A and B are shown apart, each in its own frame.
Chain A
Amino acid sequence: MLLVPCPWCGPRDEVEFSYGGQAGIAYPADPEALDDAAWADFLFMRDNPKGPFAERWNHVYGCRRWFDVVRDTATNDLMEA
C-alpha cells in the first residue's frame, strides 16, 4: 500500500488517488507537423525505468488536484512530491 504525498493534503492512502502515468508528456505544440512516428511516440511510447520515475497522481477522493511525484519503481520509495 502506497502513502502518496499530496502537496495540498499531505500523505494520504493510495486508494484516494488515481494514477496518471509518466509526468511531463506535453501535447504537441504543432500537431499538424507530426509524422506517424512522432504521433506514435506521443501516444504510445513511455519511459518505463526500474528506478526513479516522475509520474502523475490525481487526488480524486480528496482535493481533486493533479500533481507530480518521483517514485523509485524498484522499491516504491516516494522520493519527492
Chain B
Amino acid sequence: MRYWRAAEPKRSYDVVVVGGGGHGLATAYYLARNHDVTDVCVLEKGWLGGGNTARNTTIIRSNYLWDASAGIYDHSLTLWEGLEEDLGFDLQFSQRGVLNLAHDQGDVRSSLRRVNANALNGVDAEWLTPAEVAGFCPIVNVSPDVRYPVLGATLQRRGGTARHDRVAWGFATAADRLGVDVVEHCEVTGFVRGEGGRVEGVHTTRGTIAAASVALVAAGHTSVLAAMVGLRLPLQSHPLQALVSVLLDPVLGCVVMSNAVHVYVSQADKGELVMGAGIDAHNSYTQRGSFHVIEHQLAAALELFPVFAHAKLLRTWGGVVDVCPDASPIIGRAPIDGLFLNCGWGTGGFKATPGAGWVLAETIAKGEPAALAAPFALERFTSGALVDEHGAAAVAH
C-alpha cells in the first residue's frame, strides 16, 4: 500500500514548498487543512523525510525561557497532543517526560528561573531535587562525588518523543489526501524571477514550475537556495551527530538532557538508547561530524548513567543543521516578494514540526506574519529584538 501518490509535478501551483521534511510537509498539510489552499506542491530533492527529519533524536518539549519561544513551542506541543487523531496516523507519540539536569549553582538558578517563566506562560514545568530525580529516573547517578553532580532538574511531564519517520509519512499522507502533490527526487536549481525581482516559481531537475508563493523549508541547505536569489541569511550550517546503542531491555523511561555535561538520551520503543549532543564547531554540509564530539558525549553519558558502560555502540550518523546567532528560528516573509522562509531551527526543529508548519501556512495564506511567528521574522537581526535562547533553551545549541 502506498501512503501517498508519487505525484508528477504540474507546471503551476499556488504554493510550492521546497523541502520534503517534516516542516515542509506540515506546512503543506496546514495550508490545505486550515486555509483551503490545496493547489500546493512539496518538492524534495532526495527521499521524503530523509534529511534532518530522519536524523534527529526525536525529543519534544516546550520549556523554553522567552515568551515568544514558549508561544510557538507550546503551540507545537499542543498540536502534537492531538496530532495522531488529526492525521489519522500512529506517530508513536509518547509523553514520557523530559528531565533537564542542573549541575552547578548557575544551572540551578537558571533552571528555577526557567520553571517560573514557563509557569507564567502556562507551560508545565516542575523543579525536582536530586532525590526526586532519582525517584523519577532511577538509573541517573545522583551521588555527590562525581565531577558534575546532579543538583536537581526541571521536569516537563508533557514532553517526550515521537517516531520521526512516521511524522513525515503521516503529514505526507494527510496532505496527499487533501490534494497536495508530494514530489520526491526533484531538486530546485534556480528561481523564476518576475517584475521587480519577485519570485514567481522554481527551476528544478524536473522542469520549471510556476508558483504564486514559494516557501523555503530546507533546513541546512537554506543558505544554498537563498544564494540563488542573492539573499544572505544569518545562518551557518553545521554537522550535528547522534548515535544509538544496541537493542536493550527497557531501562530508561523518560528523556534526560544535560547541558553542562552535554548529552541527551532517551530509549526507543525498540530498545536502542538514542543519544545526541552538540554541533561540530565548523561549518559543513557533509552530514558527518568528527569522532571527538561523540567521544565527549559518551563520556558524559557514562558519568550520568554508569549502567550504560554495558552497552555497545551500534551506529552514528550526522545531519546538517542551520544555526541562527540567537538559537531561534527565522519564520516569515523574505525581503523578496513571493518568497517565504522557515529556517534556522538549528538543533531543535523536530519538536516544532507541527507548530512551524501551522504558522508558516498561516503566514503564506494571509500574506502577513502569523502572531506566533511575528517575533521570529528576519527583521529582528536589524531591529536588535533577538530571541536569545542560547543556554536559556536548556541545552547549548
Contacts and interface: CB of A to CB of B under 8 A. Distances in A.
Contacts of A40: 234, 381-382
A2 B232 contact: no
Contact of A48 (B223, B281, B381): B223
A48 B284 contact: no
B290 A50 contact: no
B103 interface: no
Contacts of B285: 50, 73-74
Contacts, number: 64
Nearest to A53: B283
A18 B282 CA distance: 9
B292 interface: yes
Interface in A16-40: 18-19, 21, 36-37, 39-40
A50 B232 contact: no
A23 to B, nearest CB: 12
Nearest to B283: A73
A48 B233 contact: yes
Contacts of A80: none
Contact of A75 (B234, B286, B325): B286
Contacts of B383: 36
Contact of B284 (A18, A47, A76): A76
Chain A: number of interface residues, binned into ranges: 20 to 34
Contacts of B284: 73, 76
B292 A1 contact: yes
Contact of A15 (B232, B233, B292): B292
Contact of A55 (B223, B233, B282, B384): B282
B236 A48 contact: yes
Contact of B382 (A37, A71, A73): A37
Nearest to A18: B281
A36 B382 contact: yes
A65 interface: no
A73 B235 contact: no
Interface in B340-392: 381-384
Interface in B269-286: 281-286
Contact of B224 (A1, A37, A50, A71): A50
Interface string B277-308: 00001111110001110000000000000000
B311 interface: no
Nearest to A74: B285
A64 interface: no
Interface of B: 221, 223-224, 227, 232-237, 281-286, 290-292, 322, 325, 381-384
26 contacts: A1-B290, A2-B282, A19-B281, A19-B282, A36-B384, A37-B382, A40-B234, A40-B381, A41-B232, A43-B381, A44-B234, A44-B325, A44-B381, A45-B233, A45-B381, A46-B234, A46-B236, A48-B283, A50-B223, A50-B237, A50-B285, A55-B283, A73-B284, A73-B286, A75-B286, A76-B284
Interface of A: 1-2, 14-15, 18-19, 21, 36-37, 39-41, 43-50, 53, 55, 71, 73-76
The 6 closest A-B pairs by CB, nearest first: A48-B223, A44-B234, A19-B281, A40-B382, A50-B285, A40-B381
